[in-house]
Structure 1
Amino acid sequence: MTDQQPLPPLHTPRSLIVTFYGAYGRGGARHAPGRPVPIAALIRLLGAVGVDSPSVRSAVSRLKRRGLLVAGRTAGGAAGYGLSDAARQLLDDGDRRIYGRVPARTAGGWLLAVFSVPEEERHKRHLLRSRLARLGFGTAAPGVWIAPAHVHDETRHTLQRLGLAPYVDLFKGSHLGFEPTAEAVGRWWDLDALAAQHRAFLTAHEPVLRRWARRRVVPPREAYRDYLLALDSWRHLPYADPGLPGGLLPDDWPGARSARVFAALHTRLREAGARFVAGELA
């Protein structure tokens, strides 16, 4: 593979940079630098997944303005970029969903978020809705959002960090009717749209897994490219789909299959990809 290979659709330079730092740029894991990544190395590493140098520099500038990346110097004095404390916290929060996805149990109950935002602060209403959606909440009624109860701690932490907690009340409970819960879930979430996202992931990455299953050798550069693209596709799915109880989903639900495919790619490719990253940073 050459650095000129075109970037696959649906992957943006900014998203891929965030994905790279989440996978290999935090420290605390084998081969992860935990220090500023030299901009020259970052350009090479993103070039391996089809991003050209101007796009990397532009995306880094936007992430720096958003407070996610901070400029620094490597041990050798080269200019580079590392994660801000806020970005590191965001990535740490996401690990449980992205790498440790466990479907909810029906007996676990539901979390309700009921909010009211004054009209003069309607920009916070938009932020609140977008954050609840990103946490996987469905809409039960205007101003009433619902999710499996297991997302409580993450929801609480997120709302407090964004200063939105004063506008929200959280409740845990059971669904008591009047329609069957499985039918209600179909109103609270757009299950067709969620299933389409899972199938798109499978269409793109299940053939990749099959190819790797036939190979005995795992070249680090190829492993890095395929893993980073799979992770960049996958990491959004556990937020759109909060891991609803299986008994409330259609029989042909593709979510469990897509989770197995990502887990297999992670097991097969991540460490080999880390060796490629280490070589580029050496």
Structure 2
Amino acid sequence: MAEQHTPRSLIVSLYGAYGRPREDAPMPVAALVRLLGAVGVDAPSVRSSVSRLKRRGLLLARRTVDGAAGYALSEDARRLLEDGDRRIHPRAEPSEADGWVLAVFSVPEHERHKRHLLRSRLGRLGFGTAAPGVWIAPGRHYEETRRALERLELSPYVDFFRGEHLGYAATAEAVARWWDLPALARLHEEFLAAHEPVLAARRAGPGTDEDAYRDYLLALDAWRRLPYADPVLPAALLPADWPGRRSAEVFAALHDLLWERGAEYVRGVEKDL
């Protein structure tokens, strides 16, 4: 199945990759249009998606030093991207010593729409279902989850617990019930099918800075969803042929090979305006 890259997601990926060192300095709209055009997004789609991100409070309308229209990241957006960094570029291997965090929630019937929102958000943060109303994730995800639920004003409905799994089933067997591992494996395989050949091609021939920028942004946009769908469990709890480690290695190699050259392209676009 072909990857889906939406204009809004690509804009978030662009700011996450190249839009943060500028502090409060905005990225000019003209640069956004050109940079998104390089990955196949037309100007009207860029402008409408930027407007939606502005309404959500993630982008702030600002003027550049030259007086041109532009958009800067809000503080909320910066915090979200910083949380994302810890997932996208992990600093340590997952360990069973991390333990587990349990989220137990109860939502009154007259607010049942919040029950759906809670389930959806916990699922998007990598939680699996241990039992009805009981969600589980590796313990290292607690702080990010707490912040996310506070932003959505859902914290009054949730209690968190830390602990270890004591049986009766082996933890690896329980993990296979808590998460749909075959579905997660397919996501990794799709990423590999799309981006492992790109890595091989760029190792064989570097291409232009624009090529590096395009290949990196598309890889980042695809990859950054995976460490949220997948809780990134210790290897001992996963099937022996688990593709997640290889997909993480491919993305890390693409980052090392292409990110800086992509930054050169972004700087060149802004300089040419």
TM-score, length of structure 1 as denominator length: 0.92
Provide, for residues 222-254 of structure 1, a one-character-per-residue CA deviation record: whole Å limited to 9, x for no partner: 100000000000000000111111111011100
Partner residue of 1:226?
Answer: 215
Give yes or no for contact 2:199–2:253 (8 Å, CA) kept in 1: yes
Q: Report the Cα distance in structure 2 between the residues aligned to 1:114 and 1:101, rounded to whole angstroms.
A: 29
CA RMSD of aligned residues (A): 1.4
Give the SS at the match of 1:238: helix
Q: CA deviation at 1:219?
A: 2.3
Give the SS at the match of 2:176: helix
Give yes or no for contact 1:208–1:226 (8 Å, CA) kept in 2: yes
Q: Does 1:10 align with 2:10?
A: no
Give yes or no for contact 1:182–1:248 (8 Å, CA) kept in 2: yes
Q: Report the Cα distance in structure 2 between the residues aligned to 1:26 and 1:249, rounded to whole angstroms.
A: 35
Q: 1:89 pairs with 58, 79, 91, which one?
A: 79
Partner residue of 1:152?
Answer: 142
Q: Report the Cα distance in structure 2 between the residues aligned to 1:82 and 1:115, rounded to whole angstroms.
A: 36
- Tell me: CA distance 1:136–1:102, structure 2 relative to 1, closer, same or farther (3 Å): farther
Give yes or no for contact 2:3–2:222 (8 Å, CA) kept in 1: no
Q: Does 1:262 align with 2:251?
A: yes
Q: What is the aligned-residue identity percentage?
A: 67
Give the SS at the match of 1:117: coil
Partner residue of 1:52?
Answer: 42
Q: 2:19 pairs with 22, 25, 37, which one?
A: 25
Give the SS at the match of 2:161: strand
Q: 1:39 pairs with 29, 32, 37, which one?
A: 29
Q: 1:119 pairs with 69, 89, 109, which one?
A: 109
Give the SS at the match of 1:147: strand
- Structure 2 stretches of 5 or more lacking a match? none
Give yes or no for contact 1:102–1:243 (8 Å, CA) kept in 2: no
- Structure 1 stretches of 5 or more lacking a match? 1-7
Partner residue of 1:238?
Answer: 227
Provide, for residues 249-282 of structure 1, a one-character-per-residue CA deviation record: whole Å limited to 9, x for no partner: 0111000000000000000000000000001111
Q: Report the Cα distance in structure 1 between the residues aligned to 2:23 and 2:164, rounded to whole angstroms.
A: 45
Q: CA deviation at 1:197?
A: 0.2
Runs of 4+ residues over 3 Å off in structure 1: none
Q: CA deviation at 1:213?
A: 1.2
Q: Report the Cα distance in structure 2 between the residues aligned to 1:218 and 1:159, rounded to whole angstroms.
A: 43
Give the SS at the match of 1:72: strand
Q: CA deviation at 1:107?
A: 2.5
Partner residue of 2:238?
Answer: 249
**Stretch moving more, 239-248 or 56-65:** 56-65
Give the SS at the match of 2:169: coil
The amino acid of 1:19's aligned partner reads S
Give yes or no for contact 1:124–1:164 (8 Å, CA) kept in 2: yes
Structure 1 residues 186-197: aligned runs within 5 Å: 186-197=176-187
Count of residues in correspondence between the two structures? 270
**Stretch moving more, 219-228 or 155-164:** 155-164
Q: CA deviation at 1:119?
A: 1.2
Q: CA deviation at 1:127?
A: 1.7
Provide, for residues 187-231 of structure 1, a one-character-per-residue CA deviation record: whole Å limited to 9, x for no partner: 10000110000000000000000011112x452111000000000
